[in-house]
Every structure is written in C-alpha cells, then in structure tokens.
Structure 1
Amino acid sequence: MKKAVYRLLLTTSIVATTMSFGMTANAALPFFSTDKDEVPSLAPMLEEATPAIVSIAVEGTQVSRQRVPEMFRHFFGAPNEQVQERPFRGLGSGVIIDAKKGYVVTNNHVVDNADEITVKLTDGRELKAKKLGADEQSDIALLQIDSDNLKAVPLANSDKLRVGDFVVAIGNPFGLSQTVTSGIVSALGRSGLNIGGYEDFIQTDAAINRGNSGGALVNLRGELVGINTAIFGPNGGNVGIGFAIPSNMMKSLVDQIIEYGEVRRGLLGILGQDVDAGLAEAMNLDVNKGAFVSEVSPDSAAEKGGIESGDIITHINGNAVSSFQELRAKIGSMGAGSEVELTILRKGKSSKIEVVLGDATGQVVAAREIHPALEGATLTNGKTERGNDGVEIAELESRSPAARIGLQEGDVIVGVNRTRVNNVAELSRQMEDAQGVIALNIQRGKSSVYLVIR
C-alpha cells in the first residue's frame, strides 16, 4: 500500500494530519527516577512537563473556490468561480512556552481559518485563545491565553540533538486526553517531504497519531526539542516514522512573530542543490554532503559576504549542513538582519564567512498564493539576462504542479496573456484577472518561452 506524509489535525468534518518529535539524552536527568528502591520511570519528568502541553479545539469556516469552465459561464451565465463555505471543528495540541505572557505554540494547520480557538489545560480549565501570528510555510502558529498559574516547558537546543537520543512525544491523539509515547531520534535534517515550504524535520519513532499536531517532543530532561507536525505511513496511521519542527527553528520564528506580528524571513540569495556522490565525483570534491552553490544573486547577502558560485556550504553557525534544503530551511527561519557564520569549501580549502541576511519580506512569496498551477514555486522580483524586470522562479519543488507545467528554476515570468508584468504584485493582479486559458511569457536565459495553464 502506498505510503504518504500526513499532517495530524483531527477534525470532525475535515481531517488534516500533523505531528512531531523532539529529544535529547543527557547524563544528568533530574526528573528521571533511578532510586534503587523504585523501578526506573519517566513519571517524575512527565509530572513537570505535561502541565505545559494543552489541547486545542477550533471552530471555523473553510472556503473553497473552483474555477467555472468558460463554456458554462457563456451558456448559463455562471460566475467565474464557485465559492463554497463549509463549517468545521478540529482538535489538536499545543505547548505553553511562556507562562507569564501566556504564549502557546502549535501548528499553523491546527488553527488555520479558525474563528474560535479554545485551549484546555491539564487541570481542566478552558480558555479562549488569541492568534498572534502564524507562518504557513513552516507550519508554526503562536497563540496567547490569559490566566494565572500556567506552566511552561523549558526549551532545549535542538542543534545538539543526536540520532539515538531518547525522546518523548506528548499530545492529544484522536481527541483523547493527554497521551505520552516514547522513542528515539531516528534522523535529523529531514526534507523533501513536500508538506511545507521550509523543511528541516526531526524524525522519530515515538508513536504519533491524528490530533498530536502541535504537541511536544521533549528530551529526558523534560525540555522541548520539537513540535510534532507529521507522520509517514499508510492511511495516516502510525508506523514509527514521525516528524517534528526543531525547537530552535520554532523559537526563531516565534520571536519574529512576537516582535513584528509576522515572520520576516531572512534571505541569503543563492541557488543550488544537494552535494551527492555524483556531484562530488564530477567536481572532484572532498565531501559528499553539503549545499552546492550554483548561482549567487547580484547585490544579495551572499554576494556581499563573499560567497561564489561553485562553493560548498558545509556548516551554518558551526552546525553541519547535509543538504541544500536543510540550509534553505535554517536560513529561512532566521530573521532578516541576522548575522550568520557559514563554513564553505572552495577549491579544496575550508574557510568561514560572515553574512548579514537580507529581508525576504514582500520579495519572496509561495506561488500557490497566486494560482494553484504555480504551487511548488517560490517567486521573487528579478531580472532577465537582457536586463528586463520580471518575476523569477527562485526555487522549484520537483514533481510539483509548477514543475509539471514546465517551469524551471531561474525562469523569469515577464508577461501574462501578452500583458507585461514587472514584479510579483503585478503578476498576482494579472493572474487574478485572467480568465480561461492563461499564457505565461517566460524568459529562459536568452530564449523566450510560452507556457500555457488551462
């Protein structure tokens, strides 16, 4: 049976699936019972951690839009699109990270489109929550509740996790009250799952099921190492492969939401690919992992910092990078203006480079926000080789709708149905106004190409 990645939000009318894991073993475990007269137990640690893990109930309306074929619009006078509204209820999990301010972290898909959010604590209290902000591409949302005597979970440094570290997943699967499962960290830096725009997941075998979305992955000290987000398995059932957003990534995004009310994503300004054995052999490299830089954008943070095409980025802030997607996720979770130390390999020599990230806010958007056929592409304002303004395909997910219509990384969209577009805002307006078949004018290097969306 075919396996798939599922987010783990449990709903009564709509089911999405989302989960997570996190962990870190440590020799000093103050909450781990090892008294010689007692059976070893995680109970002391969980008694401290579980009050910070909450159940989240949401109510809202999901709006779906479907384009009406032109022939029906012509003969029956139908509108350009059909709009359907469907009420829904859902259940998920969340984690209190600041008791004084009442900050609760969960997954964006748990509270997306919610009109009413209710947080239930382990002591039975039910509190209305306010959504302070969210980031769809990393699937993180920040809520706030107002109450005394809250308990927060301390944060661990998820960059210190190792494969094999013990972890415990805490959440509310299938609408049941709080449930605890245990496992280990199975892998780190997982990406390419196509469940989010920025993927750098912790993989765990701790049992996670529907409703665990937004719950906690903690280490044996009771510290938060991840936010449960997704599972991999047939029919959405647990098969021991789950994924969590690392706590460091979550904290960086939450800090931006608290300060700005939104995520102001950092921008390095490079295109590239994973380093693998084939590329290493072709270019006579001394490494088989890392992020290969194929192109550096003019006047970008990368160019200003001295990065060149052909460089291999092997570490970010001292932590090893195994793939281009992992680098992209780590950079994308950092705020604009962040200072980053990159370790690069150039012509066999390793060196460190300091860069100050640019601001991607208002420059980079997920193309699916403009048109479903462009899903999987990341768009940014750019220029063609001839110097004309347009919308560049900065990144492209393989086998995505955008890839299937023929788009390629580096393409620059310069027109929609023979109307010139110079930036993302103009592309969005033209795509919204376009009816029926849409023809995109693409500049690909020195060539002009037309791609048709039906």
Structure 2
Amino acid sequence: MKKLSSITSMALIVGTLALSAPSGYAALPQFFEDEPMPSLAPMLETTTPAVVSISVAGTQEVQQQIPDAFKFFFGQRRGQQPQERPFRGLGSGVIIDADKGYIVTNNHVVDEADEIQVNLKDGRQFEAKKIGSDAESDIALLQIKADDLTEIKIADSDNIRVGDFAVAIGSPFGLGQTVTSGIVSALGRSGLNIENFEDFIQTDAAINSGNSGGALVNLKGELIGINTAILGPNGGNVGIGFAIPSNMMRNLTNQIIEFGEVRRGVLGVTGNSINAELAKAMDLDTNQGGFISQVAPDSAADEAGIKAGDIIIAVNGKKVKTFNELRGKIGSIGAGKEVELTLLRDGRQKDVTAKLKPASDANIAAANLHPMLQGAQFSSADNNQGVKVTELEANSRAQAIGLRKGDTIIGVNRKKVDNLAQLRGALEGVKGVIALNVIRGNTELYLMIR
C-alpha cells in the first residue's frame, strides 16, 4: 500500500505541475478517463489474423565421418557416410490471398520439409502445399484450402522511409503470436551474405528465431516486408533485423504463381559499388551507385546502350546506393520485364530502358525440385530433349544417388521429361521411390531416389 500511495501522490503532483506550468514552458500531457490511450491494438486486431505460425517436419541427410580405425573396412574413399536424420522446425507466414489460400514465408522455413502445417490465429490447423520457392532470395509460397481467411494489405515498400514506425508480427521460439515494434532503421541493406539477392529493410523491432517469414507492417497494418534474418550473437535479437521488401516479395511470388518458379531477369553487367577510393581514382561526381565495369554482348544492358564506365544510380526512379542493391532490385524482376534505369555518363545524367533477358536455366538449383537432388544445377537440354546436369558438387546428395555432370534426365518413373518445367511437374508430390531415366554418353540407365 505504501508503494501505491506514493504513486498516487506523485500523480497528483504531476497533475498540479501540468496545470500550473509557467508561461513559455510546455505543459505535461494530460489523459482523462473518457479519452482512450494511444494504442496499436485496433490496427493489430484486423492485421494479426493474416499472420500464421508454421511447423515443419522432415528428414535431412548429414555426412557422418567414419573414424580412421574403421576405414580399413569401408575403404579410404568412404570417409563420410550419408545418414538421414529427422528434423522439426518452426516459423511464420503471411496470408496474401484469402480466396486462393496463398501464404508467403521464407524458403529456409520450409526447405526440405516433408510435412508443413499452418496454424491460424483462430486455432485452426491445415496441411499446406508448397507451390514454389526461390532459395536465392529466400522466398517460398504455400497454399492451404480453407474458408474465412484474412489476407493482409500489401504496401508499396518503395514509399517507406528511414524513421517510419514498423511492427513485426510472428511466432518467436514457438511461444505463439507475438508483436514487437520499432522503426525502419535503414533501407537497401545488401552485402550481408545472408542471401544471394539482397535488398533488405533493416529494423530495430525485435525479431528472433521463429519470426522468419512473419510480417513487418506499418502503422496502417499494411505489409512492408517479410521478416527474414537477424544480426546478433547466438541468434539473439540486438535490435538489428532484416526484412525482404514487400515489392520484392510480390514480384517473386507473382512469378511463382504464374510459372511455378522464379524466372529471374538478367541485365548482363558486372561491376562494383562506388566508394570514396573508386570515385577519386575515376574522377567521379558521385560516391554512390553501381559502377559498371563490363557489359555482356547482346545482353539487355548492351541493347539498352549501357556502357562500361557508366554508373547506375536509380532503378524505376528509386535510388540505388551500391552495386549489390542494384543486383538485388534487378534480381526480383522477371525475365521479359522492362526496367527504367538512371545512369551517370561523363558527369551527365541519362535515362535508359532495358528489357531483361531470361537467366540461364543452369542457375536453377536442383534442390528446388527435390531435396535429394541438392548439389546439382540443371538446364533444359537443346531442342527439348530432356534436362541436363550442368553442375555437380562433390559429396552432394545428387552425387550420392549417382548423378554425374553432363547427364541428361529424360524421364521420371517412366514418364517422359522434355524440359525443366516437365521435370518439376513430374517430381511434385511424388512419394516413395523415384526412378530417374538418365542418358550418359551412349548409355541409358536408371537412378533411384529413395
């Protein structure tokens, strides 16, 4: 009671000071019983039903090191033995289309999962199907069959500013839905080596393990980003979290919905970020942007008239500060799309339009098709004559099942496969043993995936 009495007395003193503040000084704020306290609750009541928790289960293949004393029995080349181990994981997701049941999350949340369960805020549970994913940008699209879903409104992430308030919604540590708040700390973060294509929103809203795939929203409850990663010791929050911008997410999921995969557009340039040292050496008029060191012949950049030595400073009217940021923005735009680029050449600003060309099919990671194909990269063979293995990592799963670089897959379970799209369709949803019909040189053989 003493504590309560002291607080009451202090409140009376503060109220007296507010009423009798001397002229020229700001009065302390007053709240009356009939006035509501400022709160995010009304916005969250309409927004949080669109954020779901995700639980996954599956098996992972790990390489078990054989002790030297036993190599006599297994042979010197069998120093590592593959072993399957079960795993379980937790994450978050966001409903972006209530009618079709589309849910966006991070690829790393559902990667290699055999079972994906979506838990809604109202307590309902549904098995989810993975429509497609993109490991290079860490985006995945799921689908559930359910009625009475709530979808989130998606904001234009190009309009957010550093200092805007931000709210993170997700399910950290499996505790259930949790809300944290902060501000947008930075934009266009890249070069973090978290993903291949990076253009992150940085926020100090607390993001922890399990928040991955959840929503970062503005004060209107509109989605501005998909929470993806944190920077901190031991995976704990230290006020530096990263989210994939909503525009980037929307570009990628639209491609997955249309094609079942991301068909990434390519500009066809290499370069570096502008810094003070490069600006001085090249006598440049800017310290920011993407410096173009080489333009590939017959590329989208070449056809648009971009030259080595140009500095790209904006994409579709939005400034870019680094080459990695330029790469991240271009990487989320689909093949065949037109992009407006602003560049500096000899101190003069110039606007050009480039029509992005398709990325090489060899950039498609085979793990996106089936977990046991991890370590391989595929491209459609010439004249629709199968799917060729263009790259193969040593000691990978794909090598373990018998694939070799240069192999051409022409069938799955006796079903003919002419290209990557058909291979994806043939592997989707298949359970049990899978027989790959492969051409190797002049030999036809079958490789089994169990």
The TM-score with structure 2 as length reference comes to 0.73
1:47 alignment counterpart: 45
Match of 1:321 in 2: 320
Structure 1 residue 64: Cα displacement: 2.1
Map residues 386-425 of structure 1 onto 2, 5 A cutoff: 425=389
Task: For CA contacts below 8 A with separation 6 or more, give which structure has more relative contact order.
Answer: 1
Structure 1's 365 and 275: CA in aligned 2 closer, same or farther, altered over 3 A? Answer: farther
The one-character-per-residue Cα deviations of 1:321-370 (angstroms, maximum 9, x if unpaired) are: 0100011111111110010000010000101010000100414357999x
Contact 1:68/1:78 (<8 A) preserved? no
Instruction: In structure 1, give the amino acid aligned to 2:42.
Output: P
Residues 361 and 378, structure 2, Cα contact 8 Å, conserved in 1: no
- Report the Cα offset of residue 236 of structure 1: 1.1
One-letter identity of the residue aligned with 2:36: E
What SS does the corresponding residue of 2:392 show, helix, strand or coil?
A: helix
Paired letter, 2:316: N
Larger % of helix: which?
Answer: 2
Secondary structure of the corresponding residue to residue 278 of structure 1: helix
Per the alignment, residue 168 of structure 1 pairs with: 167
Q: Does 1:258 align with 2:257?
A: yes
Q: Counterparts of 1:56 and 1:256 in 2: how far apart (Å)?
A: 23
The one-letter code sitting in structure 2 at the alignment partner of 1:351 is K
User: Counterpart of 1:401?
Assistant: none
Seen in structure 2, the aligned counterparts of structure 1 residues 226 and 427 have a Cα distance that, compared at 3 Å, is closer
Residues 91 and 110 in structure 1, CA contact (< 8 A), matched pair in contact too: yes
Q: Of residues 35, 56, 79 in structure 2, which corresponds to 1:58? A: 56
- Correspondence for 1:111: 110
Is the contact between residue 378 and residue 389 of structure 2 (CA under 8 Å) also seen in structure 1? no
Partner amino acid, structure 2, of 1:47: E
Partner residue of 1:141? 140
In the TM superposition, residue 99 of structure 1 has moved relative to its aligned partner by 0.4
Q: Retained in 2: the 8 A contact 1:265–1:360?
A: yes
Distance of aligned partners of 1:74 and 1:313 in 2 relative to their CA distance in 1, 3 Å threshold: farther
| Aligned mates of 1:142, 1:70 — CA distance in 2 | 44
> AA paired with 1:262?
E
1:428 to 382, 392, 416: 392
**Is contact 1:280–1:286 with CA below 8 Å preserved after alignment?**
yes
Give how far 1:429 is off. 8.5
Query: What is residue 224 of structure 1 aligned with on the other side?
Result: 223
CA distance in 2, matches of 1:237, 1:278: 35
Q: CA deviation at 1:298?
A: 1.0
- Give the TM-score normalised by the residue count of structure 1: 0.73
Work out the CA distance in 1 between the residues paired with 2:257 and 2:166.
Answer: 28
Match for residue 353 of structure 1? 352
Equivalent position of 2:197 in the other structure: 198
Which residues of structure 2 form unaligned runs of 5+?
1-32, 369-376, 380-387, 401-450
Which is greater in Rg? 2
Aligned position for 1:183: 182
Aligned to 1:392: none
C-alpha distance after superposition, 1:365-392 (max 9, x if no partner): 57999xxxxxxxx999xxxxxxxxxxxx
Q: 1:344 maps to which residue?
A: 343
Distance 1:307 1:73, change over 3 A: farther
- Partner of 2:433 in structure 1? none
Distance 2:59 2:394 in 1: 28
The match for 1:87 is 86
Q: Per the alignment, do residues 204 and 156 of structure 1 end up closer, same or farther by CA in structure 2, a change over 3 Å counting?
A: same
Q: Aligned to 1:150, what secondary structure does the other structure show?
A: coil
Q: 2:129 maps to which residue?
A: 130
* Alignment partner, residue 28 of structure 1: none
Q: C-alpha distance in 2, partners of 1:428/1:63? A: 17
Report if aligned partners of 1:296, 1:302 keep a CA contact under 8 Å in 2.
yes
1:428 deviation in Å? 3.1
- Distance in 2 between residues matched to 1:60 and 1:107, nearest whole Å: 16
- The Cα of 1:65 is off from its aligned counterpart by 3.7
Q: Give the drift of 1:79.
A: 6.2
Q: Is the CA contact (8 Å cut-off) linking 2:269 and 2:292 kept in structure 1?
A: yes
Q: Is the 8 A contact 2:290 2:320 kept in 1?
A: yes
Contact 1:134-1:262 within 8 A present in 2 as well? yes
Cα distance in 1 for partners of 2:393, 2:191 equals: 30
Kindly provide the CA deviation profile for residues 138-194 of structure 1, in whole angstroms up to 9, marking residues without a partner as x. 110000011110000000001111100000000001101111000000001111111
SS in 1 for 2:327: helix
What SS does the corresponding residue of 1:182 show, helix, strand or coil?
Answer: strand
Residue 203 of structure 1: how far off its partner (Å): 0.3
Asked if structure 1 preserves the Cα contact closer than 8 Å seen for 2:378 and 2:391, the reply is no
Q: Aligned residues, how many?
A: 355
Instruction: Indicate if the aligned counterparts of 2:226 and 2:243 stay in contact, CA closer than 8 A.
Output: yes
Kindly, what percent of the aligned residue pairs are identical? 63
**Which runs of 5 or more structure 1 residues have no equivalent in the other structure?**
1-34, 370-377, 381-423, 436-454
Separation in 1 of the partners of 2:208 and 2:71? 44
Q: CA deviation at 1:285?
A: 1.0
The separation in 2 between residues aligned to 1:353 and 1:127, in whole angstroms, is: 48
SS at match of 2:361: coil
| 2-structure distance, mates of 1:235, 1:95 | 26
Alpha-carbon distance change, 368 to 291 in structure 1, aligned in 2, over 3 angstroms: farther
Query: What CA distance in whole angstroms lies between the structure 2 residues aligned with 1:67 and 1:361?
Result: 36
Q: Aligned partner of 2:349: which letter?
A: S
Which residue in 2 is equivalent to 1:99? Answer: 98
Q: Which residue of 1 aligns with 2:301?
A: 302
